[in-house]
Amino acid sequence: MIIDDEESIVDIASYLLKEKGFIVETTLNKNILSTFETFLPDLALIDIRIKGEADGKDLCKTLKEKHIFIALLFSAYPNLEKIYRTCDADGFIEKPFDINELVNIVEGYLLN
């Protein structure tokens, strides 16, 4: 699952992961929590700043409490390496991201 309000980021990340055989669902900024009523991902990439929704850090905490899956913060937000632990995220991917790094990190969490 990719949760981000930047459509171009969602499109690129989704394409890259689908090319590697992953099933990818996305949500931009509408009814994010309701998406999880019908689709429970193994991993979610969560942007910290999401227009029209709760702060991504709060969203991460809520999702980790309600659903069991891997959550990675996916953001250009400063100090991401320190912040991800405060919201129960399992890790992080900094934007801008290297396409190989994105795929390698996701594969590392899902295939190990």
Q: Give the domain CATH number at 35.
A: 3.40.50.2300
Domain count, the chain: 1
72 in Cβ contact with 103 (< 8 Å)? no
What's the predicted TM-score (pTM) here? 0.92
Report phi then psi at 91, rounded to 5.
Answer: 180, -165
Structural domain harbouring 75: 2-111
Cα 88 from Cα 2, distance rounded (Å): 17
Per-residue pLDDT tens digits of the chain, which is 112 residues long: 999 999 999 999 999 999 999 999 998 866 788 888 888 899 999 999 887 766 899 989 988 988 778 999 999 999 999 999 999 999 999 999 999 999 999 999 998 7
80 in Cβ contact with 94 (< 8 Å)? yes
Segments of 1-112 assigned E as strands: 2-3, 26-27, 43-46, 70-75, 91-94
Cα–Cα distances in angstroms (integers) from residue 52 to residues 19, 49, 97, in the given order: 30, 9, 24
> In this structure, is the dihedral angle defined by the CA atoms of residues 3, 105, 60 and 47, taken in order, positive or negative?
negative
Residue 37, SS3 per DSSP: coil
